[in-house]
Amino acid sequence: MFDRINKQPIAIQTCQHSALAISEAMPILMTEINKHPILAERCQQINFRTNLQNELLITLIYRQDIEKKKPQFLKKISELQQKYHWNIIVRSHKKHWFCKQGYIDYTITLGEQTYTYLQDDNTFTQPNALINTQMLAWVSKHLSSNPEQNMDLLELYCGNGNFTIALAKQFRQVLATEVVRESLKLANLAKAKNNMHNIHFVRLSAEETSQALSGYRSFNRLKSIPLSDYQFSTVLVDPPRSGIDNNTLQFLQKFQRIIYISCNPLTLIANLNTLNSHRITQLALFDQFPYTHHIESIVILEKIKTMENHNNDNKRSQYKVKL
């Protein structure tokens, strides 16, 4: 960690706020690394991921090409895996090696339904599993039970299918798009694990998706998907911290309902002020990162009816969001 004022590093000897499996493994791993110079040599960084079942995925990142390290190095890594039952990945520039498997499953329960996802060490996953479960439950609760309002779902920035898998049963069909190949691979594996048949995952950016659905451009990646069969009632977006570009914001205003997941309140506010064709019907904050200034927000917006727009022209400022 670094001091916010002078930017100097602060040595963290223990980390009790992390998941129990991680906080317990950290000192054990450091002891092993300090005991065996072959593990410590040119080790640049160590990453940890875990699930609610306390399984661990540990990544050791080296400056030296792992193919040039001695055979004893990989033997020692395998011994650690067998001794502590960790999933261990070793990475160097553009190369990686793992023993056992390169990902871990994690499961969440919503009501009576359990869903299984996969996370690896190199793609985005909602970091706080307990809060993530609450987020999914909140969105699910606020979706209408009216089948006409829950026709088809379009999802942009779908990642590994976090919201897609959990919400798919409440819609007739789901089209979910993402640009990161590794995330889409995990999403499709989760789709198979959960026996989902009404989801299509496609590698498209948000801008490309809006171009395809608006008829401005065609994509070979969509050849097998009958876009004309979709009747989208809802669009769900979970953009990066930078928010949503202006062209995509204009595209979103065509939808009856928008579900906006945000990790940055500042870009969320700016985007909401552009989405003046809709008004906020539900809003919630989720503390994904306790003891930090970061906050996760979810906003549900409904399109303002044409007549209501006309009557409220002079009241538009009430829909503005201000700090």
User: Looking at the domain 111-319, which fold is it?
Assistant: Rossmann fold (3.40.50)
Does this chain's domain 20-99 share its CATH topology with 111-319?
no
- CB of 211 closer than 8 Å to CB of 250: no
**CATH 3.30.1330.30 correct for 20-99:** no
Judge whether residue 104 has pLDDT over 60: yes
**In DSSP terms, which residues pair with 165 in a beta bridge?**
none
Q: What is the pLDDT of residues 184-230, one digit of tens each?
A: 999 999 999 999 999 999 999 999 999 999 888 999 999 999 898 99
Judge whether residue 320 has pLDDT over 70: no
Judge whether residue 323 has pLDDT over 90: no
Q: How far apart are CA 303 and CA 315, in angstroms?
A: 16
Band of residue 158 on the pLDDT scale cut at 50, 70, 90 = very high
What ranges do the domains of the chain cover?
20-99, 111-319
Q: What is the pLDDT of residues 236-279, one digit of tens each?
A: 999 999 999 999 999 999 999 999 999 999 999 999 999 999 99
Q: Region 140-167: what's the mean pLDDT?
A: 88
Which residues are catalytic, by number? 263, 296
CA distances from 255 to 65, 134, 248 (A): 49, 25, 12
Q: What is the predicted pLDDT for the residue at 71?
A: 84
Give the list of residues 6+ apart from residue 95 with CB closer than 8 angstroms, or none: 65, 66, 67
Q: How far apart are CA 287 and CA 128, in angstroms?
A: 9
Q: How far apart are CA 87 and CA 80, in angstroms?
A: 9
Judge whether residue 148 has pLDDT over 70: no
